[in-house]
Amino acid sequence: MGLRERVQRLRESLGRTREGIVARVARLAGGGAIDEAMLERLEEILLGADVGAQMSQGLIDAIRTRVKEEGTPDGARLLPLLKEEILRLWQDRAPGDPFAIGEARPWVIMLVGINGAGKTTTIGKLAAHHVREGRRVVIAAADTFRAAANEQIAVWADRAGAELIRQKQGSDPAAVAFDAVRAGAARGADVVIIDTAGRLHTKVNLMEELRKIRRVIQKHDPSAPHEVLLVVDASTGQNGLQQARQFGASVGVTGLVLTKLDGTARGGIVLAIAREFDIPVRFVGVGEGIGDIQPFVPEEFVEALFAQ
């Protein structure tokens, strides 16, 4: 997908978020000079769009300072200032291609997150990308908890042109992951992607299970997993932040995937997450199809969000 097409797709996906933030701010800015009352309304809009308290406050403070510096509290400056200050957030983040893999073979990517976040779907999308790049991909069906999970991941593996390692339902997820890494190495795979369970009602056990998967695959390769992606459903808003805190602390997350950006009005969560975590957003999910994944590029995100 070309750059223009990608931004266009993102722009469509962010439609409701744009309505919730940018369109409202534009209407607010039409109301005259930027004063404290206007900034207060701006904060309400940002909070209501899941931008998060810290981030909203930070943006308001920055805009207040800028208005003072510029000495022109013209309402017309509100939207451009907001856009600039949002962009500034990501200024010091190295861009890099999140699809790129390092030198280790197989390169092991593990996906974690609560049920329904979009792990399995994201694995299908990632696998398809790597296969298209000419890489050999093995998927580990380590969500052995749900009966339907094996079937679902098998469908995605097939669609993506990846190989699948699975065992029967209820078997040890760490054993499946270990098998997959070993098989991947034996078969000369470039990438091994590990699907995991996300059931919530036994959270402590889930974190323990994920840590065990880590430990066990490290018996094969001490440097694995090379990437641990936390998948968060963007439409869950602030709840997503909570998940990022929990998983981040427990399983050494190295990157985030925000799914279901399409159709949600809560895309502001991307900003809240950027503010609170040092963990970079690597990808966004913009649909249920195999091609509906995009690398997260801050400039593209902000352009799409503020597009008229």
Nearer Cβ to ligand GDP (43/145): 145
Could you tell me the smallest distance in angstroms from the CB atom of residue 115 to ligand GDP? Answer: 5
- Among ligand GDP, Mg ion, none, the one that 118 touches (CB under a kind-dependent 5 to 8 A) is ligand GDP
Nearest to 253 by CA among 191, 301, 179, 196: 196
Kindly provide the residue ranges of all beta strands, DSSP E only, lying in the chain, ordered along the sequence.
107-112, 137-142, 163-165, 191-196, 227-233, 255-259, 281-285, 293-295
- Among Mg ion, ligand GDP, none, the one that 292 touches (CB under a kind-dependent 5 to 8 A) is ligand GDP
Nearer Cβ to Mg ion (221/227): 227
Bridge pairing between strands 107-112 and 227-233: parallel
Nearer Cβ to ligand GDP (78/149): 149
Give the three-state DSSP class for 31.
coil
Give the three-state DSSP class for 163.
strand
Could you tell me the smallest distance in angstroms from the CB atom of residue 173 to ligand GDP? Answer: 13
* Rounded Cα gap, residues 97 and 297, in angstroms: 9
Could you tell me the smallest distance in angstroms from the CB atom of residue 9 to ligand GDP? Answer: 11
Task: Please report, as a single letter, which amino acid is at residue 45.
Answer: I
- Among Mg ion, ligand GDP, none, the one that 288 touches (CB under a kind-dependent 5 to 8 A) is ligand GDP
For Mg ion, the binding residue among 13, 17, 56, 120 (CB under 5 A) is 120
User: Which residues in this chain contact ligand GDP in the complex, by CB under 6 A?
Assistant: 113, 115-121, 198, 231, 259-260, 262-263, 285-288, 292
Peptide bond into 106 cis (omega under 30): yes
In DSSP notation, 240-296 reads HHHHHHHHHHHH---EEEEE--TT-S-TTHHHHHHHH-SSPEEEEE-SSSTT-EEE-
- Among ligand GDP, Mg ion, none, the one that 13 touches (CB under a kind-dependent 5 to 8 A) is none
Nearer Cβ to ligand GDP (236/259): 259
Nearer Cβ to ligand GDP (34/234): 234
Could you tell me the smallest distance in angstroms from the CB atom of residue 262 to ligand GDP? Answer: 5
> In this chain, which residue has its C-beta nearest to Mg ion?
120
Nearest to 276 by CA among 110, 61, 51, 114: 51
